[in-house]
Structure 1
Amino acid sequence: MMYLVIILPIILLGVYLYNWSYRNASEEMSRNTLTQLSTYLEDLNREIEWLEIQQFDILQEGELNRIAVTWQQMDRVEQRRSINYVLRRLVSIKNSSAYVKDIYVHIPSINKTISANSAVHALERERYEQIRSMGGPGASRLVRQGDSLQLSAFRFGGKHNKEPLCTVQVEIDSEKLKDTLQLLNVYPGSGSMLISKDSGFQVESRGASQEVIEAFKRKAGGRTDNTIILGIEGHKYHFNMADSNKLNLSLLSYLPEETVKRPLYKFNRWAWLFMITSVFALLVYIISTYRFVHRPLLLLVQSFRRMESGILNSQIKHAQKDEFGYLYDRFNQMLIKLQTLIDQDYKQKLMMQKAELKQLQSQINPHFLYNSFFILNSLAKTGDIERIEKFTVMLGEYYRFITRNSEDNVPLSEEIKHARRYMEIQQLRFSRRIRVQFDELPKEMERIKVPRLIVQPIIENAYEHSLEKVQKEGLLRVTFAQSSGEWTISVEDNGICLDDAEIEMLKEHLAHHTKSHEMTGLMNIHRRIVLTYGEGSGLIISRSELNGLKIVIRIQAKEEILDV
């Protein structure tokens, strides 16, 4: 502990020195960058001012004035000589500035444009009107046309003449701007961008990251700080911005934070080495104490907790032959004996449950056979051959289901199909006095695994005990429902039902697993469901809204009972 008290202030001092060095490096880079940006804008402004002077010089040329005013009075030789003179002046200006992509003189009176690159051609009226509309008092010196910046100057013939005699237009070379902006990117991963405040025009240095620039526009749209730091896609960037009110331009530069930290990497490595070396001795002591004392004790405590939660197959080992080795060995012997006793008891109970389940299942299987022969006998007495034929086909399908499905559990969709087949068989006999409402099984419940013959016997119970004596307008309803935690199947009727006291007695028999002659079938179903799904599942008996008997099969929802 004393070692930690001594070394901790030294570590904190190293962290402070690192942060102080980082702030100084960041501020120094920002100052240098802002100086470069301001110098660039000043140089660009001087270049623009020189171009403006050249524009006004051209507008004062006598040859240009002759072309605009007396073109029709000039012969072809004079026209050619004047045009060539103006053209040479334009070429001379273009060659004198690297920022000029082309320079035009628009003369609307003769419907011609003189260009340093393409000589003389017809005036492009749409382009000319666009340039003219963006000029005038209060307009920006640099305007946007298409993907480039333009510098325009006009000469009017008189006070009342709204159309200029001629217009000198200088097109700034965007590619040259990119090249000069590239010179500002002196740090790895840096980039820069020139932005026109009014027109929305922008030009980026070559290799500038569009993602970084777009993220800056979104996150720092209204900020006026010259230097800000923003996090973009998991990386931090330092942004510096300088403004030129004369040109109405802003110049943005960015560089990754890794570049700012690069001079500190060596210091950082030595600081980490010092920190690791300082705490190494402390870690050796802590690890050795943890390994030889704390960890064996913790493992023993965890093993006891797992044993308390019912996990008995996790024996523990100890390499050293010490006190912990003896404790571990005694603990493992205790687990083995406890597991043996539990296995014996569990297997015995499981075998008894399976035997009981098979016994309950077998009690139900012959039940429908007896009733089928009674129904077939009744149909034979009526002499209705067509109904007998239909009945025997359905009866064959019914018994094919029984003989084909040897498993104890089947998907609920097959069980409901079997119950629906039984209902159709019964309706051949009772269709005139009993109506059946049998809902469709929801898709979500089709794959539930259920014990065989749990729905059909309940429907059979309704026919035999509730609806048997109904002479007309009998109703049997089978519905399905699901909610978070359980599924239910409801079978209810409007038949001659037991009174409330008898219904309570039936519920009492189910709750205490007592048997009576009337309860044998329902008790079988209830016990099978409880054995399959556990307590909380089973049959619920109550008075139906139809004024008859209602029996609900409730199944507690568990993922493992789905037929996957």
Structure 2
Amino acid sequence: MKLRSAGKKSKWFVYQKVIIVFILLLLPLISMNVWFNYKGMSITKDAILNSSMAGASFYSRQLDREMYFIRNLQLQFLNDKDLQKLSFRGGMLENYEEVELIEQVRDRQSTLTAFSDYIVNAGVYVEAVGKTISTMSGVTNTPNPEMELVASLISTTPKPSYYQYGERIFLIESENNDGVWSYIELSRAKLLEALNQIADLYQESEVLLGSKELGTVLTTAEQPQEASTILAQISEQSIGKQGASEIKKIHGINYFIIHNDVSSLHLSLIMYVNQNEITRPLNQFTTWSYLLFIIAIVIMVLYSFSVNLMIHRPLSRLVKAFRMLEADNLNIMIQSRTKDEFHYVFNSFNNMALKLKNSIRENYEQKIALQHSQLKQLQSQINPHFLYNSFFNIYMMCKVGDADSAAELSQRLGRYYQYITRSGADEVPFSKEYQHALDYCEIQCIRFSNRISFEYGEVKDVPASLTVPRLIIQPIVENVFEHAFEDGTMEGVIYMSTEYRDGKLRVTVEDNGQLMTEEMIEQLRDKLATPSKYIEKTGLINVNIRLQLKYGEGSGLFVSRSSYGGLRVDLIINANEEE
């Protein structure tokens, strides 16, 4: 496989590239946001203005419909049959009949007044009976002030759509050649209340009812001249158009003016609002947009600083550490003050450097342990004392005529030396290693004149494919024969058993010797737990190191007090760890 050669060295650090890419990606988003804000403000402004126009138009139509309704009621009242009968036959009616007709007319007037809150007084003048009938003053003979006021108003030419006397507003209609006058006085307070409902759409808005010819009839403004100024500014093009709007600058203030016709009165309902009030939320939105833009710039600066602090600096430390590692400096350690991902990376680097250092040391110790193991095996092969004693035991058995025992000892001795002297793989099936330890026990028990015996359990559940290093059980048993029964114990027993569960093999060797004290067990346990090359490599320590190097943590030899009184040695192999 071919590897491409590295390109030219970049002048930019990684974090600088990240910042540039971040800015390049962010700028289009900011530009689009500014454009969307501009379009959004324009659309929002139009929506606000349209909402204002719709609100003003709604209230003006409501008022216009109410005035039309009152006029229709007035016309219907003029055509009332009782009123017509009173008008045509007033002079020929008897008193009882006249009073009855007048009461019926008054009832109709009361009904007329109840139909609308805008009516404060409904009256009628009947020339034939010489009386005025109204809901306010009752039945009054003429002439009277109310009849004289109506007479002065009805003489106005040309006939207006409404009549105004001071602050009072009247609707007057006549019938039967002015033989009947119907007059309705409108409530100025109710009309102002209706205008105030429109003005309440905005805090800085006012509403007026009037026309250029008649001036201001009603206004919600505290200063009437302000309404007159607004009315004078209405352009001719907007007059007669329902819902027309325009912007006029008056006394340095821009007003948004909405014009609606109240055709029932031939007047205009005009709403004018300080434009700043309408656009104030948009101006605040614009201010916030600029503020957010500045915040975005600050965020980019802070982001650049944060990337430099959180990514570039740790990466620089990591690169520097790798360069020192390349220079064979295995003592480098990176300190981490944070608990982020770099903390994990730094710890992993430290663990890697430590494991590399330990691997080098363990590889060296493994070689030393292998040399010790080979030396130990060579010593076992050529141990003349063990061989001479065995031959002497065979000789004595032959002398006493115990041919069967001599044959068995010879067979086991031959199989023992065949196992330790053969060449080949360093690993053997566990069953063979276990049988070799049993052969050694049998030979030693014969040598010690049956003063020592051994008991063992059969190998169960151990996979036939499981292989172990050679000569890992014999040193444990050999240690028992050499140290456990030095005091001449006559009934020494060695117990051997095996157990295999969940990929873990346990071989237990126990004895009933009385020489091993708690202090000696603790010292042996410390030696096994300190795999250092400076500790003397005895048989047990050598086996422990070999197992740990091959099968990893959790494997090896573990010593404790036996339930039989002597020493217990557990040989543990984690077969899963090896896999």
Coarse TM-score class (shorter-chain normalised): 0.3 to 0.5
Q: Which structure's CA Rg is the greater one?
A: 2
